[in-house]
């Protein structure tokens, strides 16, 4: 006769790697979690250390602790579904507590840069190129660049001119300082880089590299970009948790609308769920595109999915800039303008090679990759390369799309507004998430204190 199987609490879990025999003192939720984990350990393969932490958090924070254990569903299907949802909830909570501050850091710095192009344009609206008399000839491009170098105090790394003659040329120096100049006379306009540009440069360094004042903090940078990897997990798990238990009109209305009559925990929960649902897609796009730009292996994965070989290594800027071949611009810059009559801006980077000069041509404002063209002219004026966006490999196209989807600029001011609203929502999600966790912890401590007061006191005889 076959003996009856031993209860779960008395078995040794070899697949998990730790003994679950001693279950005294654990809540009913923790016991059910351990039972569910046994059934999915072989397929899901959750790390042992993470499960230990999760069980401890369940015992510490679960509102149904000890004697107030929740109702246990009678059917196996209901019990399995309830436990998986609760498991996903605690997984969502733990990840949120770990990466919440880094998400808030990216959201705050990103929201500050949401309308950077418009703010810079407004701040520099009074700086324009004066009208030139026809009888006074303009300087050659090489002479203009050489004349600007002593004025900016450093060799330029790029030189950008515009089709509008009243728009100032932009001269960039390391590290990404931009000066406005008159390309015709070689004179600087304004008082060097404006405070607005300097402010956005500091915010951009913080957002990208966790750097400030020229100092890059590698450890902090590694922590912040690693936290960004957890954001897509939070978004997807939050969407699953958002699904109402019953698809009724009253439940959907509560999950889709912000209510102003709520207070305390109910208010935080409503803001957290509603805001997270409506801005889930923009936040997911922003976080995934940010991961592509932050990690080389994610960027390589994007190229692999696109079916194109990933670029080998990063393009590094030269430490020293030589203007030895700048005279080639006198002949090639006018030819580059003629390649596209719809051009709006033309950029050349230094140093210039002796045999050819690459140019970056843009038909728009610089925020749409479809309007960008890369061309190369030999020193004899022959067009050796003319790559429009359609001719680029699919992986490179996706990479450029991701760059401008990250800021929303690809859709103009509407996309920037959505990105700005998504960044503010991310701050709201972190705030309400931490508030809900703190309320849960305080409630648990209060219940534990009351249970200790109600416990009988054993007196020695």
Same domain, 231 and 258: yes
Q: Is residue 178 part of a domain?
A: yes
What percentage of the chain has pLDDT greater than the value 70? 79
Same domain, 224 and 137: no
* Chain Cα centroid distance, residue 374: 27
Region class of 418: left (phi > 0), else alpha (psi between -120 and 50), else beta: alpha
Same domain, 103 and 157: no
Same domain, 285 and 224: yes
Same domain, 106 and 228: yes
pLDDT tens column, 369-403: 999 999 999 999 999 999 999 999 999 999 999 99
Q: What is the pLDDT of residue 16?
A: 36
Rounded to 10°, the helix 394-407/412-454 angle is: 70
Same domain, 114 and 215: yes
Task: Give residue 275's domain range.
Answer: 98-124+195-308+410-452
Q: How many domains does the chain have?
A: 3
Same domain, 294 and 422: yes
Q: Is residue 260 part of a domain?
A: yes
Same domain, 161 and 300: no
Q: Which of 340, 53, 107, 130 is nearest to 231 (CA)?
A: 107
| Cα first-last separation, the chain | 50
Same domain, 107 and 221: yes
Q: Is residue 373 part of a domain?
A: yes
Q: Is residue 263 part of a domain?
A: yes
Q: Is residue 47 part of a domain?
A: yes
Q: Which residues of the chain have pLDDT under 70?
A: 1-82, 313-321, 456-461
Same domain, 40 and 180: no
Q: What is the pLDDT of residue 460?
A: 54
Q: What is the pLDDT of residue 133?
A: 76
Q: Is residue 405 part of a domain?
A: no
Same domain, 28 and 136: no
Same domain, 253 and 346: no
Q: Is residue 458 part of a domain?
A: no
Q: Is residue 81 part of a domain?
A: no
């Amino acid at each position: 006769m076959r003996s009856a199987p031993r209860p779960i609490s008395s078995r040794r879990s070899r697949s998990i790697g730790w003994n679950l025999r001693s279950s005294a003192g654990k809540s009913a939720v923790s016991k059910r979690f351990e039972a569910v984990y046994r059934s999915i350990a072989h397929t899901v393969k959750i790390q042992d250390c993470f499960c230990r932490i999760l069980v401890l958090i369940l015992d510490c924070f679960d509102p149904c602790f000890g004697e107030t254990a929740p109702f246990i569903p009678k059917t196996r299907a209901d019990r399995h579904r309830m436990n998986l949802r609760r498991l996903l909830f605690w997984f969502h909570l733990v990840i949120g507590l770990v990466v919440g501050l880094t998400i808030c850091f990216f959201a705050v710095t990103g929201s500050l840069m949401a309308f950077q192009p418009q703010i810079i344009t407004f701040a520099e609206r009074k700086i324009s190129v004066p009208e030139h008399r026809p009888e006074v000839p303009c300087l050659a491009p090489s002479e203009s660049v050489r004349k600007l170098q002593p004025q900016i105090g450093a060799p330029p790394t790029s030189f950008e001119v515009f089709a509008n003659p009243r728009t100032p040329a932009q001269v960039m120096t390391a590290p990404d300082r931009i000066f406005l100049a008159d390309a015709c006379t070689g004179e600087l306009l304004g008082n060097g880089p404006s405070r607005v540009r300097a402010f956005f440069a500091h915010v951009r360094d913080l957002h990208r590299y966790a750097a400030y004042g020229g100092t890059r903090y590698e450890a902090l940078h590694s922590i912040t970009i690693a936290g960004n990897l957890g954001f897509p997990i939070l978004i997807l798990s939050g969407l699953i948790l958002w699904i109402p238990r019953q698809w009724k009109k009253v439940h959907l209305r509560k999950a889709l609308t912000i209510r102003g009559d709520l207070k305390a925990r109910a208010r935080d929960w409503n803001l957290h769920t509603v805001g997270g649902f409506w801005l889930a897609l923009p936040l997911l796009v922003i976080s995934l595109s940010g991961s592509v730009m932050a990690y080389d292996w994610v960027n390589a994965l994007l190229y692999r999915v696109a079916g194109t070989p990933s670029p080998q290594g990063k393009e590094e800027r030269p430490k020293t800039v030589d203007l030895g071949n700048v005279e080639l611009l006198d002949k090639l810059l006018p030819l580059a303008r003629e390649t596209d009559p719809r051009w709006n801006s033309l950029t050349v980077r230094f140093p210039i090679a002796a045999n050819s000069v690459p140019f970056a041509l843009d038909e728009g404002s610089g925020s749409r990759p479809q309007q960008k063209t890369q061309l190369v002219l030999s020193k004899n004026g022959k067009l050796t390369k003319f790559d429009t966006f359609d001719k680029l490999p699919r992986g490179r196209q996706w990479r450029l799309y991701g760059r401008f989807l990250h800021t929303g600029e690809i859709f103009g001011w509407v996309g920037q507004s959505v990105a700005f609203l998504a960044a503010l929502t991310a701050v709201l999600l972190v705030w309400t998430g931490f508030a809900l966790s703190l309320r849960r912890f305080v409630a648990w401590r209060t219940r534990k204190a009351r249970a200790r007061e109600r416990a009988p006191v054993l007196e020695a005889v």
